[in-house]
Amino acid sequence: MKLKIAIFGGSGYGGSELLRILLQHPHVQVQFVTANEQAGKAIGDVHKNLLGLTDLSFVKAPEDLESLKDIDCAFFALPHGQAMEIAPRLPAGVKIIDLSGDFRLSDAEVFAKHYGREQTAMEAQRGFVYGLTETNRDAIRSATRIANPGCFATATLLGMAPLVANSLLSCRVIVDAKTGSSGSGAKAAPNTHHPQRSTSFYAYKPFTHQHVPEIEQELKSIGEWNNELIFMTHSLPVARGIFASIYCELKTEINAADARTMFADFYRDSFFVRLVEGSPDINWVKTTNFCDIGFAARGRQLVVFSAIDNLVKGAAGQAVQNMNLMFGLDEKTGLMLIGTNP
C-alpha cells in the first residue's frame, strides 16, 4: 500500500524537486500539490521537466484541513512564515516535513532576529525534530514532525560533525560557503537575474545569514561546541550547487589520510556521504542526494571541503530521505539519483 502524500507549495524549485523525486518513488502516491497562483494549471505545464510524468494539476490549499486525515505525510515547500500558520492545524495523524526555516530554531527571539518575523507557533515547534539525517537518524525514525535543515547548514554540518563529535577543534572555525542562484528561489529578483549573476561574484548577508543559528544549535547537540563560528556566504554564477570550505585549527596535528579515516568511521552507515581525494566538485553532486567531502591538512590546520546540490541534499532529497526513515523504509528508496558527466 502506497503512502498518501500532500505537497504544500509546489510551484517553486523545492516543490519541483520534491515532485521529480516522489513521482518516481515506489512507495508513494502524491494526492495533491498546492500552488495558489498556479491553481488549475497542469504540473507539466508549469514544470516543463515533468511534462508527461503526471496527470496532476495544482490546486489551492484546502481550507478544511481536518479533511486531510487520510494523508500519511505532508511536505511544506512554502516561503518562510507560511508553514507555521498551516502545519499545526493538520490532523494529528499526518506526519509533517517542513522545508522552510519555520521550525528549525528553538529560540523565538533568535528566529525573529534572523527571519525578520515573529515565530507564532513555538508550542508546535517543540514537537519538531531537526532533520539532518546523518547526525539525527534515530530521532528522525520515531518523529512525526521534521524541520528539514537549510542548504548551507547541511553542507556545513556534514563537514564539521565528525570534528565536533571527537572534540578536536581548538579555536574559531571559518566557513567560506558559495551557492548557485537556485537557492534564492524561482521568482526573479535583482540578486538572481541572469545578467547580474552570470559573470558576477559577491558576498552577501555577512554575519547575518539565517542558517548560522541552526548550525550552532545543531553542533551543540552533536558534541562539545564552544567555538566561534565565522560564516560567510557568496553568490556563484551557476544555477545549482553549494561548495563550503571549512577552515579549522585542531588540538593535535593531523594529515588528510587520518582525517579521511575519522570521517569514514563517523559516516560508515551514511550512504549519501562520499569521501573524495582532494577537493570535491559541485558538478559531481548536481541533481543527486550526495554530499562529497574532501580534505587538505598541514600540521594542526585542516580544511574540509563539502559539496552538495542545494535543491536535493540541501532540500527535497534530504526531505524524502527523512520521510523514508519516518515510515520504516530504506533511506535510499527513491533517491538513487545519478549525476551527469559532463
Lowest mean pLDDT among 44-48, 190-194, 304-308, 330-334: 190-194
pLDDT digits (tens, 9 = 90+) for 269-312: 999 999 999 999 999 999 999 999 999 999 999 999 999 999 99
Specify the pLDDT at position 341: 86
CATH of the domain at 81: 3.40.50.720
CA distance 103 to 80: 10
Q: Is residue 58 part of a domain?
A: yes
Q: Say if 138 falls within a structural domain.
A: no
- Same domain? For 47 and 191 the reply is no
For residues 117 and 206, membership in a common domain is answered with no
The C-alpha cell of 275 is what? 569521501
Q: What is the pLDDT of residue 4?
A: 98
pLDDT at 181 over 80: no
pLDDT for 196 equals: 76
Looking at the fold, whether 195 and 74 belong to one and the same domain comes out as no
Query: What pLDDT sits at residue 188?
Result: 64
Q: Considering only 176-180, 195-199, 224-228, which range has the smallest mean pLDDT?
A: 195-199
Work out whether strand 145-147 and strand 229-235 pair parallel, antiparallel, or are unpaired: unpaired
What is the tally of structural domains in the chain?
A: 2
Confidence of residue 1 (pLDDT cuts 50, 70, 90): confident
Lowest mean pLDDT among 72-76, 117-121, 129-133, 258-262: 117-121
Interval 70-98 mean pLDDT: 95
CATH of the domain at 258: 3.30.360.10
Same domain, 89 and 210: no
Neighbouring C-alpha atoms within 13 Å toward the C-beta of 169: 24
Q: What is the pLDDT of residues 58-81, one digit of tens each?
A: 999 998 898 899 999 999 999 999
Distance CA 246, CA 153 (A): 12
Q: What's the rounded Cα separation, in Å, for the pair 285 and 267? A: 17
Distance in angstroms (rounded) separating the CA atoms of residues 125 and 88: 9
pLDDT at residue 59, as a whole number: 96
Q: Is 146 within a domain?
A: no
Position with higher pLDDT, 190 vs 278: 278
pLDDT of residue 200: 85
Q: Are residues 169 and 211 in the same domain?
A: yes
User: Has 73 been annotated as catalytic?
Assistant: no
- Residue 103 near residue 147 (C-beta atoms within 8 A): yes
Q: Are residues 123 and 164 in the same domain?
A: no
In a domain, 316, yes or no: no
Examine residue 20 and state whether it is found in any structural domain, yes or no: yes
Residue 175: helix, strand or coil by DSSP?
strand
* Predicted local distance difference test score (pLDDT) of residue 178: 96
Q: Is the pLDDT of residue 186 over 70?
A: no
**Does pLDDT of 187 surpass 90?**
no
In a domain, 328, yes or no: no
Grid cell of 183 as nine digits = 537557492
Q: Are residues 272 and 174 in the same domain?
A: yes
- Tell me the CB-side half-sphere exposure of residue 167, using CA atoms within 13 A: 2
Residue 342 resides in a domain: no
- Same domain membership, residue 297 and residue 185: yes
With a threshold of 0.85, does the pTM exceed it? yes
Mean pLDDT of 252-279: 97
- Average pLDDT in the 145-173 region? 97
Residues of the chain with pLDDT > 70, as a percent, come to 96
Task: Tell me, yes or no, whether 103 and 30 share the same domain.
Answer: yes
State residue 323's pLDDT score.
Answer: 98
Residues 83 and 198 in one domain: no
What is the per-residue pLDDT for 140?
98
What pLDDT was estimated at residue 191?
A: 67
Q: Which domain holds residue 99?
A: 3-127
Domain boundary among 74, 95, 127: 127
Instruction: Give the burial string for 43-63 (b: 16+ CB within 10 Å, else e).
Output: bbebbeebeeebebbbbebee
Rounded to the nearest integer, the mean pLDDT of the chain is 94
CA distance 246 to 24: 35
Please indicate, yes or no, whether residues 213 and 279 belong to a single structural domain of this protein.
Answer: yes
Catalytic: which of 151, 171, 248, 291? Answer: 151
- The answer to whether residue 62 sits within a structural domain is yes
Per-residue pLDDT band at 197 (split at 50, 70, 90): confident
- The reported pLDDT for the residue numbered 204 is 84
Give the pLDDT confidence score for residue 101 in this predicted structure.
95
Domain edge (last residue) among 76, 95, 127 = 127
**Is the domain of 111 the same as that of 228?**
no
**Cα 309 from Cα 14, distance rounded (Å):** 12
Q: What confidence category does residue 208 fall into, taking pLDDT thresholds of 50, 70 and 90?
A: confident
Lowest-confidence segment of 27-31, 168-172, 180-184, 219-223 by average pLDDT: 180-184
Share of the chain above pLDDT 90, in %: 84
